[in-house]
């Protein structure tokens, strides 16, 4: 599937943009699942000013979608219309240690690198980022967390660019964070943030990070094509346990499978499509609702268009077992 080329519409100003612009850019290689259709127009800004210039001139009717490292993202097979923005680590991946046990990190910085920088500086409280396989921008947007700590507990301030190209500063309170969700100003592309930790011992923090790594590798399907935690934990319950008790461990549709190691992970065994992965997820949701009366909520961000004739309905409209191995 391909989209009409947007670039000819921008002939009056697009020459001033310094970043990478690519029409009908394949997105599958940018997400961990390795599935999905193209972006109508893919944009990697050269820096914050370049991003602001682009957004200021981009017609308001054109949709903007921002993606990070793709560790918690499912792009549907029909692709994404409008503009897809990805902040490259080269321009948005800087990390700086500040006074007062604070760290400033670019939105394109992998989470593990902010944890490492803080540990080496003797700043405790940010080691949990070692267990989040994404980038800072995604952590800010989704209030990512693990092992008892969430991003909202450490965010002091954020910097971003609005849809009309204005560079703004936000506070933690402006984001109105909730579990795995932010409620900040709509359309802002986060470019950096300041986090605050506690005074600590570098060796102790690095040891804690190693323990987090070992725990992840022993309990989760790392180094595989997955999208991280699939469903949010319902209040007082664990999603993985509900999925397991509903008989979904190892459940498979085509090359999409519920992980044998951790049942809140879906994996692409080889050549799964986004359709197969999402259908599997909705099958799991249907079985959990049927078994426990609990409606699991997707934590993975699903975006884009379905391929023609390959639409996935919520809970499969009760058709739980059709075509499922």
| Residues catalogued as catalytic | 180, 229, 299
The alpha carbons of the chain give a radius of gyration, in whole angstroms, of: 20
* CA 307, chain centre distance (Å): 22
Burial 173-199 (b: 16+ CB within 10 A, else e): ebbebeebebebeeebbbbbbbbbbee
Dihedral sign for Cα 313, 318, 323, 325, please.
positive
In sequence order, the 6+-apart residues with CB closer than 8 A to the CB of 277 are: 33, 35, 74, 227, 256, 266, 268
Alpha-carbon distance of 60 to 164, in angstroms, equals 8
Q: Name the token pair of 1.
A: 């599937």
Residues listed for the chain: 325
Contact of 83 with 43, CB cutoff 8 Å: yes
Alpha-carbon distance of 261 to 265, in angstroms, equals 8
Alpha-carbon distance of 224 to 32, in angstroms, equals 8
Question: How far lies 242's CA from each of 17, 206, 289, in Å?
Answer: 49, 33, 9
Question: How far lies 206's CA from each of 153, 157, 196, in Å?
Answer: 20, 25, 17
Alpha-carbon distance of 69 to 87, in angstroms, equals 9
- CA–CA–CA angle 258, 144, 316 (5° rounding): 35
């Amino acid at each position: 599937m391909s989209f009409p080329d947007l670039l000819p519409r921008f002939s009056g100003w697009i020459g001033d943009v310094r970043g990478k612009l690519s029409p009908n850019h394949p997105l599958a290689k940018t997400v961990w699942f390795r599935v999905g259709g193209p972006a109508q127009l893919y944009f990697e800004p050269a820096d914050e000013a370049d991003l602001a210039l682009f957004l200021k001139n981009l017609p308001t009717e054109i949709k903007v979608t921002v993606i990070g490292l793709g560790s918690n993202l499912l792009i549907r097979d029909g692709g994404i219309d409008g503009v897809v923005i990805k902040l490259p680590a080269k321009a948005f991946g800087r990390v700086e240690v500040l006074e007062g046990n604070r760290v400033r990190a670019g939105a394109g910085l992998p989470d593990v690198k902010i944890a490492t920088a803080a540990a080496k500086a003797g700043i405790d409280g940010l080691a949990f980022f070692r267990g989040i396989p994404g980038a800072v921008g995604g952590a800010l947007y989704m209030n990512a967390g693990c092992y008892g700590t969430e991003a909202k507990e450490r965010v002091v301030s954020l910097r971003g660019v609005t849809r009309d190209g204005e560079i703004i500063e936000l506070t933690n309170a402006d984001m109105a964070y909730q579990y795995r969700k932010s409620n900040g100003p709509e359309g802002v592309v986060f470019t950096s943030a300041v986090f605050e930790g506690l005074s600590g011992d570098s060796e102790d923090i690095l040891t804690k990070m190693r323990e987090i790594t070992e725990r992840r590798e022993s309990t989760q399907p790392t180094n595989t094509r997955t999208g991280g935690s699939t469903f949010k934990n319902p209040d007082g319950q664990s999603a993985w346990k509900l999925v397991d008790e509903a008989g979904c461990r190892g459940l498979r549709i085509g090359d999409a499978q519920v992980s044998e190691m951790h049942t809140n992970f879906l994996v692409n065994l080889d050549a799964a499509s986004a359709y197969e992965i999402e259908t599997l997820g909705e099958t799991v949701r249907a079985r959990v609702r049927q078994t426990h009366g609990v409606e699991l909520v997707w934590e993975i961000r699903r975006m884009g268009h379905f391929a023609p004739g390959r639409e996935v309905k919520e809970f499969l409209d009760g058709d739980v077992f059709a075509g499922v191995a």
